[in-house]
Amino acid sequence: MMNLLSDEMRRDPYPAYDRARDVSPVLHEPSADVWMIFDHEGVKRALHEHETFSSVVSPPDNKTSRWLVFTDAPRHTKLRALIMRAFTPRAVGNLEPRIQEWSHQLLDGPLERGSMELVEELAVPLPLRVITQMFGAPQEDLPRFKHWSEVIMALSYFLAGGAEAERAGREFREVTDEMQAYLAELIAQRRAEPREDLLTQLVAAEVDGERLTEEDLLGFFQLLLSAGHETTTNLISNALLCLLEHPEQLARLRADPGLLPLAIEEVLRYRSPVQTMFRVTTRDVPLHGQVIPAGKLVMPMIGSANRDPRKFPDAHRFDITRDPNSHLAFGHGIHFCIGAPLSRLEARIALGVFLERVKHFELASDTPWEPRRAIHVHGPVRLPLRVAGAE
């Protein structure tokens, strides 16, 4: 049986995905009573058919039940419309100068000393700085945001219950109270003195006479701190990991920096930062000769779908010129990731600045990289590098 929690599997799940797609593209894991879907067609269907594959996987009494990703229509439709009123292309684009500035700042120290812990020094702090900027929070609160993010992600360390899962839930409830008080203060400030930031826009957003409640805003804040932050962190880390593993593609990108947007799409496909989502069946679902019963937890395996050779020619080849590239890294259908443009922007700027300033980089350790623990994401916890700038 597939052990989704082993380091080997978390570091390189693709051989196991290949076997599953070939033998049983729909697989029941009995210990956790979860159904996994591995092929591109099946995963796309599970993400698209929201009436059959419900997103309401969090119990109503759970604080995460108010998150946009865990809602169905009509509540999802209303919440998404309200958030989109503030999360506009212009609002995202306005962040570009600060992202550029921070990317340079975060590289100054590493280039001076010739070494860098990529994840902790660039891939983690950059998205966190963006989130604090969006909510108009002081940069001094970055350590607090980082702690909150880690506690939220710990909810995804386990497929089944147990003592550790209970402790993670307890810690999440505690930080939720902290975050609620913190956000209430920021919201009160914005109502008294509106600013040019996302939080002000979210507070003011209105659709059909309705506005986001403070609980809705808290849910979005938590979602940004977990899904938004983690996705971009892994996208940046995985991109440089891919380029290290494929020096011919790195040389190609250095020769033609205009390929960077396509390269980012290929990273999203080849090493998808989010490997799976969670759904619950609303009825019995026949799929690939099996029947997934109603009321069962389903995991559409995005990382596997994005390496399906029936969809992608030479699927295990990392090719920064691949086009078209219809990957499912940001989901599909009504739940397509609302933060995808921001994640792409952060990655494009951070990687562009890195490749411009870092003329040589290599792994500083032969030890296999440690994978991040959350079951639904893919990327390294640490990636120590030796770096050198221009002579």
Residue 154 has pLDDT above 60, yes or no: yes
Q: Residue 322: in which H helix or E strand, if any? A: none
Stretch 22-30: mean pLDDT, rounded?
94
Q: Comparing 133 with 65, which gets the higher pLDDT? A: 133
Q: For 70-94, write each residue's pLDDT tens digit.
A: 999 999 999 999 899 888 898 899 9
Please check whether residue 228 lies inside any domain of the structure: yes
What are the tens digits of pLDDT across the range 216-269? 999 999 988 888 788 999 999 999 999 999 999 999 999 999 999 999 999 999
Could you tell me if residue 362 is inside a domain?
yes
Of the candidates 272, 187, 268, the residue with the CA atom closest to the CA atom of residue 221: 187
* C-alpha distance across the termini of the chain, in Å: 52
Q: What is the DSSP string of 71-99?
A: --TTHHHHHHHHHHHHS-HHHHHTTHHHH
CATH of the domain at 37: 1.10.630.10
DSSP state of 281: E
Tell me the percentage of the chain whose pLDDT exceeds 70: 98
Q: Would residue 1 count as lying in a domain? A: no
The answer to whether residue 221 is domain-embedded is yes
What is the rounded average pLDDT of the residues 4-24?
91
Q: What is the DSSP letter of 260?
A: H
- What pLDDT is recorded for position 283? 98
Quick check: 332 and 47 in contact, CB under 8 A?
Answer: yes
In a domain, 270, yes or no: yes
Q: What pLDDT sits at residue 162?
A: 72
Provide φ and ψ at 287, rounded to 5°. -155, 125
Q: Is residue 208 part of a domain?
A: yes
pLDDT for the residue numbered 319 = 98
Domains in the chain, number: 1
Residue 216 is part of which domain span?
7-388
Asked, for residue 209, whether it belongs to a domain, the answer is: yes
pLDDT at residue 1, rounded to an integer: 54
**Does residue 2 sit within a domain?**
no
Side chain identity, residue 37: I
Q: Is the pLDDT of residue 155 over 90?
A: no
- What does the DSSP 8-state code read for residue 69? G
- Identify the CA nearest to 263 among candidates 385, 351, 337: 351
pLDDT bin (cut points 50, 70, 90) of residue 160 is: low
